[in-house]
Amino acid sequence: MGPAELMQAAAMARRFYLEGKSKIQIADEFGVSRFKVARVLETALERDLVRIEIRVPAELDADRSDALRARYGLRHVVVVESPTEVADADDAAADPENLGEVAADLLGELVTDGDVLGLAWGRSTIHMAAALRQLPPCTVVQLTGVYDAGTADRGSVEAVRRAAEVAGGEAHPIYAPMLLPDSATAAALRSQTGIARAFEYFDKVTVAAVSIGSWEPGISTVHDMLSDEERDHYSSLGVAAEMSAHLFDAEGRRIGRDLGERCITVEAERLRRVPEVVAIAGGLRKAAAIDAVLRSGLVTSLVTDTAAADQLLETLPGPRPALDRADPDGR
């Protein structure tokens, strides 16, 4: 470009990128065609006269987020930088606490006035609830029983209360364990007034937050609640992940459905009808489990970390995108 061309390109670029003028407005101002303006703007980019930078907070990874969203057909994906000390450790604790903080911000965007927000038990959802700073007025309902009824005040119940307090809405907690000794006991608890009232809200949930667990000690709530014999039984079925007491194989198919009869939890098909289901899970040890649950069609959005994201991006895409909401085994 000569000096005149350079100055004209700079002026046009300023009008377009900084002042927000259309190409037609710029063409009228400079007495040229809009096609000429388009060519000049394109040349300005090619010659490095204009540099476009997309900046997000340092702890968020836009490229991985977009790649994962496209890979699984998700609605929203936010990938958080893994903590330096655990990014390369295979045995690192899963679900870095900063996932909860980012998930809290995401819920602040997704939840609208009058929604019903459902929270399932999980360390990541508890961290998220603690990090909530603002929510539109909404009702909050607990979607699962607790890992240990004796810790309810420090877990799911408190998370539901916290979210409802922030939103200024009603809270519908569930004062019951997630897993019961048998289906008869579970059925009896479901019929109790407070629990039945919470279950009535399940069909009204518009946004849900859930956790994902790998089938191993300390990374799966259900795994740790079962006997050795029961764990061996479900392992023999090929369980790769659990979410809200539902078990999945590596292809996202639900297995061990009999376990659900003993659990206080939202049914999978009810969860499938929730318009927005946000899963919060990260860490290398959970990557395969996250992949399995995303293939199930139950989840629409994901908050994870770079360690898990890199593993997920190396897997082959599933046969159905998450937004199909279809059950892989057709049931």
pLDDT in tens, 159-199: 999 999 999 999 999 999 999 999 999 999 999 998 999 99
pLDDT < 70 regions, the chain: 1, 53-58, 84-95, 148-154, 318-321, 330-331
Task: Give the pLDDT of residue 317.
Answer: 72
CA-based nearest residue to 299, from 252, 235, 261: 252
Task: Give the pLDDT of residue 75.
Answer: 92
Task: Give the pLDDT of residue 55.
Answer: 62
Task: Give the pLDDT of residue 316.
Answer: 76
**159 within domain boundaries:** yes
- Per residue, the 3-state secondary structure of 101-134, as one string, reads HHHHHHHHHHCCCCCEEEECCCHHHHHHHHHCCC
Q: How far is CA 217 from the centre of its chain?
A: 23
Looking at the structure, do residues 225 and 284 belong to the same domain, yes or no? Answer: yes
Q: Exposed e or buried b for every residue in 79-104, given b needs 16+ CB within 10 A?
A: bbbbbeebbeeeebebbbebbbbbbb
Q: Which domain covers residue 28, as residue numbers?
A: 3-47
**140 within domain boundaries:** yes
Looking at the structure, do residues 42 and 163 belong to the same domain, yes or no? Answer: no
Looking at the structure, do residues 130 and 219 belong to the same domain, yes or no? Answer: yes
**324 within domain boundaries:** no
35-66: pLDDT as tens digits: 999 999 999 998 888 887 666 565 788 889 99
- The total number of structural domains in the chain stands at 2
Looking at the structure, do residues 282 and 143 belong to the same domain, yes or no? Answer: yes
Looking at the structure, do residues 15 and 71 belong to the same domain, yes or no? Answer: no
**327 within domain boundaries:** no
H or E element at residue 32: none
Task: Give the pLDDT of residue 174.
Answer: 93
Helix (H, G, I), strand (E, B) or coil at 195: helix
